[in-house]
Amino acid sequence: MPSVKYLIELSDDDRRKLMDIVRKGSAPAKTILRANILLASDRNGKHPMTVQEIAETYHTSATTVQNVRASYAEKGLEATITRKKRETPPVAAKVTGDVEAKIIALACTQPPEGYSRWTVRLLADKVVELSILPEISYVTVQRPLKKTNFVLT
């Protein structure tokens, strides 16, 4: 018989939470799968299943079962069943609060000679000309103006 690295013994509260997740069925599929794996692995249950039995029952791999069990033993219930929130966005924002303030301040100034008012394309060109940003789209210039209900008149 293979050795068991992580013994899963769920508390009554943890078991109740997991049963609610499985019964309701409104959680993401991975959350329900992880809840089922933990419930099947519970040593306090009638007959805890082996890793291979759990993998076959829930149509997943033995590695996934082992990873869920290891995560529960090391990090606890919430970290195991919920998705980790991303700390940083995949692409950093070009326009920060400082750049937004400079764009709005620029839009409040007199338009260039020969123009009666600022346009977002003129503002984008001026932002690059003043070296506020190395390059910027007129659409990106328009966003902070729209967000603050700024009207170019």
Q: Which tens digits make up the pLDDT trace of 9-38?
A: 899 999 999 999 999 989 999 999 999 999
The length of the chain is 153
Condensed to tens digits (0 to 9), the pLDDT of residues 61-103 reads 999 999 999 999 999 999 999 988 888 888 888 888 999 999 9
Residue 134 backbone phi and psi in degrees, to 5: -65, -35
How far from the centroid of its chain's Cα atoms is residue 131's Cα? Answer: 33
**What does the alpha-carbon distance between residue 35 and residue 122 come to, in Å, rounded to a whole number?**
56
Give this prediction's pTM. 0.61
- Asked if the model's pLDDT at residue 3 lies above 70, the reply is no
- Residue 42, SS3 per DSSP: strand
Burial class (CB in 10 A: 0-12, 13-18, 19+), 92: exposed
Contact 7, 42 (CB under 8 A): no
Closest CA to 55 of 44, 73, 43, 41: 41
Contact 35, 18 (CB under 8 A): yes
- Asked if the model's pLDDT at residue 46 lies above 90, the reply is no
**What does the alpha-carbon distance between residue 56 and residue 153 come to, in Å, rounded to a whole number?**
67
- Residue 6, SS3 per DSSP: coil
Q: Which residue has the tokens 């009666």?
A: 116
How far from the centroid of its chain's Cα atoms is residue 49's Cα? Answer: 33
